[in-house]
Chain A
């Protein structure tokens, strides 16, 4: 039985566990039908031309991992940003861990999607926002069909959340292979401010496939900052589908730091429904071995006077492969749009590959849309210059790569996150120099 058949066959068991007489379940069953029709994406689809999931779909995944597996905080502390106070929504093998979490219902809701889907108190929000902007494509439909658990974040009007929120999905490797489908819903009402740090972390080398969906709504004047730390081990694959809708004067930024994992596919979609919106999409990717990363971004400029800023930097060593597909659509009504896209890549090895594709569809005539894409190597003259000043070649390379990626780090607003990323980069580059450029 292949994975698709297994998923469909197990739906009856899933239904035993959820309220099937609800509007939400109607959405789920429709999504299941959709997935049954579409199946998993193949390379025949334009959007999946350079990324094949075949190798990861072959595993015999456990779809509903059993009871909560216990993990000690001491063993996983290093995966948290722990030097500052944060809210935490933590899952272990897909199940909520109350022990590791720190949630709240005080003034705002930072809690679980499972309760938000079931409890009447949240009915209005779920009706308004759940699965409203998520696309009906194959993998998002699959996630929607099994949508049950994840983070639920609701920030009311004028509330500024003082602590960042960490959402971490751990897998323990208790099962031989685990498939997870977390579903997050984040709503920031008018003039609300919230910062979110997301991470998927597998604790053993057993295969993991995560198909995550996150919907984010930023109302008028809201500010949402999301930091995705992708540094999982070599047998963990991730498809991260994020859908973000913004209203007038809102600012949403998403920083994606991709250093680990087997196959990582990021589908990051922004929809601008209002004026004077700013959407910020930034990424640093440093991979090697046989790692594969695929960044698919979409910014849909629907109304006038909005901005978008994309800056993706990638460093690829050994036989790693990568894709950057940055799509910007500017509708006819979206005059005075200012859309900026930058994608710079360094191939450290001649066996590494990057497929870069800026895709601009502009239907308005009074806009500023720029895009720049470069693929290069490290500058030998710069390396010699640095070596001449006593900096060994390895460190010189690291310093050059770090400086290259630094424009992305500059806009990280949480100092501890920036510090952590610096450390991850230094580790990744195998050097022991403090980066505080």
Chain B
């Protein structure tokens, strides 16, 4: 599904990713952990195509196709979804209208007709129920005045609507209380299938109790320095990152 090889990326001449390798197959869940400033969010933004980052070396392949030169919307049309750590507030555009525009623009790019209003409404109802989202919430301006938890739930709601092939969840657990965490994780698990894949970026083991990863990677100084199974997350929780840094340095 996703194959990243020797990826180097800069922002304003500052090098952040320094030779990152990662392969994610369909049906898998990968967790990315690592200390602050390791480059986790940068990795997510670079895969999604944020223009401020310059890829200086390496490739990002999605289903065999190099996507590193594509515009963010084209990557989205190819099935990449990024749940933002800080979702942006867009006053004047309601949640419903935003998601309608989003779905129809993606369909347009694929040469499809707009989704009939009836189907759209049905889908919105189903997916909002899945994430226990109140109907009133859908007619509010996108993310405007939302609590941290509402913003994250709204991200996963959009993910549910867009049905991406590759979903990257950037610290989706931050700002969530335990109930919201359970709802969000449950949503992600229900959307998971053998045909799609999820990358979970997190600081805490907590989320991984609910979304159980097949692989856990430690990102440090722009590279993946250690890979293990779900038990690695437990070990990190108990021991912190210093022992890994030492391992790398030695």
Determine the chain B residues whose CB is within 8 A of the CB of A433 once the complex forms.
101, 105
CB atoms of A390 and B97 under 8 A apart: no
> Quick check: is B37 within 8 A (CB to CB) of the other chain?
no
B92 touches A402 (CB 8 A): yes
Identify which of B54-62, B83-91, B126-134, B188-196 touches chain A: B83-91
A273-281, A378-386, A413-421: which lies at the B interface?
A378-386
Interface segment, one of B2-10, B71-79, B208-216: B71-79
Q: Is A387 an interface residue (CB 8 A)?
A: yes
Q: Do A389 and B88 touch (CB < 8 A)?
A: no
B95 → A minimal CB distance (Å): 11
Q: Which residues of B contact A404 (CB under 8 A)?
A: 92
- CA distance in complex: A388, B106 (Å): 11
- The 0/1 profile, CB within 8 Å of B marked 1, for residues 374-400 of chain A is 000001111011111111110110011
B15 part of interface (Cβ distance < 8 Å)? no
B139 to chain A, nearest CB (A): 10
From known contacts A391-B73, A437-B93, infer whether A384 and B87 are also in contact, taking CB-CB under 8 Å. Answer: no
Please measure, in the bound complex, the distance between the C-alpha atom of A239 and the C-alpha atom of B77, giving whole angstroms: 48
Q: Which residues of A contact B92 (CB under 8 A)?
A: 402-404, 406-407, 437
Q: Select which of B91, B102, B109 is within 8 A of A389 by beta carbon.
A: B102
* Contact A392-B105, Cβ < 8 Å, known A381-B88, A384-B51, A385-B87: yes
Partner of A387, one of B72, B81, B84: B72
Number of residues from B at the complex interface, CB < 8 A: 32
Q: Does B48 contact A (CB under 8 A)?
A: yes
Q: Are B91 and A393 in contact (CB under 8 A)?
A: no
Q: Does residue A436 face the partner (Cβ distance < 8 Å to B)? A: yes
**Alpha-carbon separation in the docked complex, A223 to B48 (Å):** 52
Smallest beta-carbon distance B42→chain A, Å: 14
Which A residues touch B84, using CB under 8 A?
A: 385, 388
Q: Closest B-chain residue to A401, C-beta based?
A: B92
**Chain A residues positioned under 8 Å from B101 (CB to CB):** 391, 395, 399, 433
Judge if B158 is at the interface, Cβ distance under 8 Å: yes
A332 CB to closest chain B CB (Å) equals: 38
Contact (A382, B88) CB under 8 Å given A388-B82, A403-B93:
yes
Cβ contact of A390, chosen from B51, B88, B89, B102, cutoff 8 A: B102
Question: Which residues 36-72 of B have a CB within 8 angstroms of A?
Answer: 48-52, 71-72
A141 to chain B, nearest CB (A): 42
Complex contact A399–B82 (CB within 8 A): no
For B186, the chain A residues whose CB sits under 8 A away are: none
A residues less than 8 Å from B103 (CB atoms): 390
Residues from chain B with a CB closer than 8 A to the CB of A403 are 90-93
**Whole-angstrom distance between the Cβ of A258 and the nearest chain B Cβ:** 20
Contacts beyond the supplied A390-B102, A402-B92: 19 A-B pairs with Cβ under 8 Å: A381-B88, A382-B89, A386-B90, A386-B98, A387-B71, A387-B73, A388-B48, A390-B73, A390-B76, A390-B77, A390-B103, A390-B162, A400-B90, A403-B92, A407-B92, A433-B105, A437-B92, A437-B93, A437-B94
Q: List 28 A-B contacts (CB under 8 A).
A: A380-B52, A381-B88, A384-B48, A385-B87, A385-B90, A386-B90, A387-B49, A387-B76, A388-B48, A388-B49, A388-B72, A388-B73, A388-B75, A388-B82, A389-B162, A390-B77, A390-B105, A391-B101, A391-B105, A392-B109, A393-B73, A395-B105, A396-B73, A399-B93, A406-B92, A407-B92, A436-B97, A437-B92
